[in-house]
Amino acid sequence: MTPRVDGDRMRRDFDTLSSFGATPEGGVSRPTFSEAHLAARQWFLNRAKAEGLGTGVDSAGNHSALLHARNRNASVLLLGSHLDSVPEGGRFDGAIGVVAALHVLLAIKAAGIDLPFNLEAIDFTDEEGTLMGLLGSEALAGTLTPEALQSPRGGRDALLAGLERAALREDRLHEARRDPATLVGYLELHIEQGQRLERERVQIGVVTRIVGSRSFRIVVRGLGGHAGTMPMDARRDAAVAAARIILAAREIVVRDFPDSVITVGDLRLEPAAFNVVAGLARLSLEFRSQHDADLDAIESAIFARFHADSQADGIDLEVTQVARWQPTVLDPSMIEAIERVAGGLRLTTTRLPSSAGHDAQALAPVIPTGMIFVPSIGGVSHDPREETAWEDVVNGANVLLGTVIELSRRRVMG
């Protein structure tokens, strides 16, 4: 008989995990290397140790629980996600993937199954990008570049301070790389973060591809001055220029790229006072598409418009690219294995693309990678209201477990 995860124990672990960085609104705030994040990661290792699993932390800070095969030299199947969150985020994003991975190891251990591979539940460092984004998974995949480390999304100073807090060394991050020949593949359970599964009343989403995205920091320089005495026609107002950028970005994407999205999620004015015209604005900008050609076209169109508008307004723009992630296709045999397992558990499935980024997109270019989605209530995510019915999380965890066993059979047979 196929083993199952213990849904009640998994719930208790999830609730404990949700207490790290818990917010009054019912979510969690665990930005990378914050006290709450580091405590959550330590809890994960302690929990694994208490269950008699092996543990490890690599030079990129990825935290792992290990269930060894009898043959310790066998390759490794990775299961995981991330324990960091966006600021003021939800409890489920990333966390269920790590807790479920841990409980898959526990279920296989309890059933006494000797797999033909080692099984590793991994909590990747900084998936969300408060510092860089996909830092741990790219380090493991061997795709983390020195250039990307120079201009991270959260700023270079924050990255260096964060690495120091976590006792990690920038010059050793790349040592987390694993030879793909030593890895069987990667599986990640995650909430959908959209509304499709809920609308279609489907229990399990099988992810086919993951959106690509590009992120930029823009500094807008105008002219500061007295908010009472500076005539309107003499102004080079950085706040107005930033507003123009935000509206132009939206207009271009909605009109010409209806399948893409663009977001300014951070906007700061300086010096930031009622009675001072802003001389400077800082914006974050990111856009996403499933197609690389659209990302190129959006980039050309928006920056041509931003530069033309700011030139006309006497505004200076400084643009820095801070992340670039390719749209990624997941492995067809993983997709088929997940579907087969979900079908065997009498769960309904549909194939769907992911509009959110995931560690899976860092691993898919180097090893066979699959993702399982479970429904998000109301499609809400990156928000404390994020919610998934526990029964759906348990279903997803059992599909993850079943897929591990399915892959072990294929490995033995193949």
Nearer to ligand GLV, 136 or 402 (CB): 136
Binding mask 106-145 for ligand GLV (x = CB under 6 A): ----------------------x-----------------
Question: What is the distance between the alpha carbons of residues 127 and 266, in angstroms, rounded to a whole number?
Answer: 18
Nearer to ligand GLV, 205 or 357 (CB): 357
Determine, following the binding rule CB under 6 A, whether residue 210 of this chain makes contact with ligand GLV: no
Binding partner of 136, given ligand GLV, Mn ion, none, CB within 5-8 angstroms per partner class: none
Question: What is the distance between the alpha carbons of residues 243 and 29, in angstroms, rounded to a whole number?
Answer: 28
Binding partner of 212, given Mn ion, ligand GLV, none, CB within 5-8 angstroms per partner class: none
Question: What is the distance between the alpha carbons of residues 406 and 402, in angstroms, rounded to a whole number?
Answer: 6
Nearer to ligand GLV, 11 or 382 (CB): 382
Nearer to ligand GLV, 118 or 130 (CB): 130
CB of 346: closest distance to Mn ion in angstroms? 27
What are 236-241's contacts with CB under 8 Å, separation 24+?
Answer: 236/313, 236/314, 236/315, 237/277, 237/278, 238/269, 238/270, 238/278, 238/279, 238/280, 238/281, 238/315, 239/269, 239/277, 239/278, 239/281, 240/313, 241/281, 241/309, 241/310, 241/313, 241/315
Interacting residues of 316 by C-beta distance below 8 A, sequence separation 6+: 220, 221, 222, 310
Q: What are phi and psi of 137, to 5 degrees?
A: -70, -35
Nearer to ligand GLV, 203 or 355 (CB): 355
Binding partner of 357, given Mn ion, ligand GLV, none, CB within 5-8 angstroms per partner class: ligand GLV
CB of 380: closest distance to Mn ion in angstroms? 12
Question: What is the distance between the alpha carbons of residues 273 and 271, in angstroms, rounded to a whole number?
Answer: 6
CB of 267: closest distance to ligand GLV in angstroms? 18
Nearer to Mn ion, 97 or 222 (CB): 97
CB of 386: closest distance to ligand GLV in angstroms? 11
CB of 95: closest distance to Mn ion in angstroms? 9
Size of the site for Mn ion (CB under 5 A): 2
Nearer to ligand GLV, 261 or 319 (CB): 261
Find the radius of gyration of the CA atoms of the chain.
Answer: 23
Nearer to ligand GLV, 80 or 402 (CB): 80
CB of 207: closest distance to ligand GLV in angstroms? 13
Give the residue among 323, 364, 22, 365 at the shortest CA–CA distance from 159: 323
Please count the residues of the chain: 414
Question: What is the distance between the alpha carbons of residues 229 and 1, in angstroms, rounded to a whole number?
Answer: 80
Distance of CA 211 to the CA centre of its chain: 11
Nearer to ligand GLV, 48 or 132 (CB): 132
Q: What are phi and psi of 220, to 5 degrees?
A: -105, 120
Binding partner of 123, given Mn ion, ligand GLV, none, CB within 5-8 angstroms per partner class: none
Size of the site for ligand GLV (CB under 6 A): 3
Site for Mn ion in 67-106 (CB under 5 A): 93-94
CB of 217: closest distance to ligand GLV in angstroms? 16
Give the residue among 344, 365, 361 at the shortest CA–CA distance from 353: 361
CB of 138: closest distance to Mn ion in angstroms? 15
CB of 82: closest distance to Mn ion in angstroms? 6
Question: What is the distance between the alpha carbons of residues 294 and 79, in angstroms, rounded to a whole number?
Answer: 31
Omega into 271 within 30° of 0, i.e. cis?
yes
CB of 356: closest distance to ligand GLV in angstroms? 4
Q: Do 81 and 97 meet the contact criterion of CB atoms below 8 Å apart?
A: yes
Residue type, 328: T
Nearer to ligand GLV, 90 or 224 (CB): 90
Joined together, the tokens standing for residue 83 give 């324990």
Among residues 194, 205, 224, 357, which is the contact residue for ligand GLV, using CB under 6 A?
357
Joined together, the tokens standing for residue 288 give 């996403």
Site for ligand GLV in 236-295 (CB under 6 A): none
Determine, following the binding rule CB under 6 A, whether residue 356 of this chain makes contact with ligand GLV: yes
Residues that bind ligand GLV (CB under 6 A): 128, 356-357
Binding footprint of Mn ion on the chain (CB under 5 A): 93-94
